[in-house]
C-alpha cells in the first residue's frame, strides 16, 4: 500500500469524490478543497506530499494557486485541465507544475501519475551519492539541491532530474523522446514540448554562469550538456 497525503483541488465534487475513492483505496490520506483560496489555506494546514490541482477554480484559478504554493514550497503539483490547449499545459509547467492531466481521465492514469511523480521527487537512498559538479555548478540529487556559484537556486524536482541526467552524461546528445523516457519515465503521457519548457527554465538559471560548460540545443535532434 502507498502512504502519503494528497490534496485534491477541484470545484466539481463528483471528481473530488472519485479521486478520493481511488487514492484512499491505494492507502493515501486525502484532503479536499473546492476553490483556490481554500486550496492555499488547506496546503498550509495539511502539508500534503502531492497536489492534484484543477485549473478552472472559483476565487483563484489553478495558475494563481500554483504561483502561491511555489513561493514557499516545491511540493509536487499535477494540474488537471479540461481544456487541453498547449498554452495551458505550457503555462502550468512554466509556473512549476510537475505534470498535467487532461480531463476526462481514467482514475488508473491519475494513480500512475501520482506514483511516478512521488517516486521521482522522493528522498534518495542516503548511501547512493548522486552529485555532479562542474565549474561554479553543483547538482545534488540526494537532497535535490542546485547550487550556482555556491548559492542554492530553487529548482523544481523535474528540472533537477533533467539537469542531473544531462550533466551526468556530458557531451552526449539526447533526443526529446529519450529524455521523456529516461527522465519522465515510461508512464508519462505528455509530449516533447514538456522537455523544451524545462530546458528553457533551466537556461534562465544557468545561462552565462561558466564558459566551461553550457546547456546546448542540437537542432533537429535534442539537447546536451556540453563541456569544453
What local confidence, expressed as pLDDT, does residue 3 receive? 64
Alpha-carbon torsion, ordered 137, 183, 30, 37, to 10 deg: 60
Last residue of a domain, one of 121, 155, 181: 121
Looking at the fold, whether 140 and 202 belong to one and the same domain comes out as yes
What local confidence, expressed as pLDDT, does residue 99 receive? 86
SS3 209: coil
Using a cut of 0.75, tell me whether the model's pTM lies above it: no
What local confidence, expressed as pLDDT, does residue 126 receive? 40
- Partners of 30 in beta bridges: 6
- 117 closest CA partner among 200, 212, 51, 38: 51
Last residue of a domain, one of 121, 140, 171: 121
Q: What are phi and psi of 203, to 5 degrees?
A: -60, -40
Q: What are phi and psi of 8, to 5 degrees?
A: -100, 125
Looking at the fold, whether 141 and 74 belong to one and the same domain comes out as no
In a domain, 23, yes or no: yes
What local confidence, expressed as pLDDT, does residue 125 receive? 36
What local confidence, expressed as pLDDT, does residue 1 receive? 47
- The alpha helices in the chain, defined as continuous H runs, are 13-25, 36-46, 62-70, 86-94, 107-121, 157-167, 176-179, 193-206
Q: Domain span at residue 197?
A: 131-227
Mean per-residue pLDDT pooled into runs of 10, the chain (228 residues):
82 94 90 96 93 93 93 90 69 82 86 82 53 93 90 92 93 90 67 87 94 94 94
Owner of C-alpha cell 494528497: 6
Q: What are phi and psi of 207, to 5 degrees?
A: -60, 125
Count of domains in the chain? 2
Amino acid at each position: 500500500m502507498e502512504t502519503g497525503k494528497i490534496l485534491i483541488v477541484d470545484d466539481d465534487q463528483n471528481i473530488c469524490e472519485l479521486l478520493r475513492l481511488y487514492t484512499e483505496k491505494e492507502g493515501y490520506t486525502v484532503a479536499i478543497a473546492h476553490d483556490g483560496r481554500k486550496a492555499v489555506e488547506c496546503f498550509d494546514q495539511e502539508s500534503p506530499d502531492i497536489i492534484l490541482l484543477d485549473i478552472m477554480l472559483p476565487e483563484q484559478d489553478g495558475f494563481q494557486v500554483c504561483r502561491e504554493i511555489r513561493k514557499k514550497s516545491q511540493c509536487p503539483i499535477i494540474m488537471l485541465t479540461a481544456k487541453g490547449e498547449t498554452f495551458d499545459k505550457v503555462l502550468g509547467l512554466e509556473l512549476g507544475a510537475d505534470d498535467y492531466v487532461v480531463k476526462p481521465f481514467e482514475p488508473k492514469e491519475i494513480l500512475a501519475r501520482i506514483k511516478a511523480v512521488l517516486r521521482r521527487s522522493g528522498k534518495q537512498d542516503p548511501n547512493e551519492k548522486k552529485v555532479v559538479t562542474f565549474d561554479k555548478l553543483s547538482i545534488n540529487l540526494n537532497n535535490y539541491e542546485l547550487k550556482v556559484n555556491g548559492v542554492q537556486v530553487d529548482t523544481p524536482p523535474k528540472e533537477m532530474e533533467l539537469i542531473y541526467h544531462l550533466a551526468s552524461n556530458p557531451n552526449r546528445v539526447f533526443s526529446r523522446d529519450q529524455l521523456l523516457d529516461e527522465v519522465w519515465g515510461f508512464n508519462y503521457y505528455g509530449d516533447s514540448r514538456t522537455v523544451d519548457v524545462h530546458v528553457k527554465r533551466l537556461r534562465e538559471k544557468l545561462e552565462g554562469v561558466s564558459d566551461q560548460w553550457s546547456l546546448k540545443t542540437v537542432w533537429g535532434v535534442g539537447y546536451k550538456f556540453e563541456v569544453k
